[in-house]
Amino acid sequence: MISKYLTRANVDINVSQIEGALSELDSFIAETANKQEAVWSFMIPELGEGGACSLFGHLQETPFELESYLVRSPQSDLCLSQLQTIVHYIQQRTNVDWFGIYQNTVTNDGLQLLKLSYCGAPSRPLFPVNDTFAATSNNVQVVISGLGRVINNVQSYVESGGEYYTCDPKVQSESCLPLYDEHMQCIGIIDAEAFRNDFFTAETLAILIAACIRIPHYLP
């Protein structure tokens, strides 16, 4: 599965590093003391004109409710708990400043990336999956192409014409990696952000890829 993931995502990381990271992640999830509660409600930023961007630091008064998009049940609650546990592991293991898990979800407004679990500052909960939004969104580019993106200098990337959706202006490095089903179809993404350049080393990416391989087992 690791080799298939690396080939499909077009990411070059040593397989043995990912194997070690997978073993460590599985042990962390299995430890009862590490269990995190499911988060069904969270604050989100106001959107800019036309919904094109988030107004960082300006929060909507009403929380975003996942129950508007997911049926709440013991099973879905368990899934979100397991995803939040993975988020907790990633934050502890890498010290990343922001990390989120998104799943492809059909909504009344079409296919969107729905944020299921995260750590860090409040952020946009939904990203429309279409070519128009892909023109300005790294996340949407990844979910459409199924190819991973690692940006270790956001400023240089944007200046060179790369697609980038700015939420937190402090972000200097970002890694956006796909999630695949058993047929290697892209069903979501993870997004990791750091407030310094050159954050995503081979070791850090191995940890993130291990999470990408496990997360699909826990999607609601």
Tens-digit pLDDT profile for residues 57-106: 678 889 999 999 999 999 999 999 999 999 999 999 999 999 999 999 99
150, 161 contact by CB (below 8 A):
no
Integer CA distances (angstroms), 25 to 54, 83, 89, 95, 208, in order = 32, 12, 7, 15, 10
Token couple for 76: 């879905």
Q: What percent of the chain has pLDDT over 90?
A: 77
Q: Given phi > 0 = left and psi -120 to 50 = alpha, else beta, which region is 23? A: alpha
Position 97 scores a pLDDT of 96
Task: Note the pLDDT of residue 136.
Answer: 81
Looking at residue 6, its pLDDT comes to 97
For 150, the enclosing helix (H) or strand (E) is: strand 149-151
Confidence (pLDDT) at 148: 97
- For residue 14, what is the domain's CATH number? 3.30.450.40
The domain total for the chain is 1
Distances (CA, A) of 210 to 7, 34, 205: 14, 18, 8
The residue segments making up the domain with residue 177 are 1-217
140-166 pLDDT per residue, tens: 999 999 999 999 998 888 778 766 666
pLDDT at 57: 67
Q: What torsion, rounded to 10 degrees, do the Cα atoms 151, 157, 163, 168 define?
A: 70
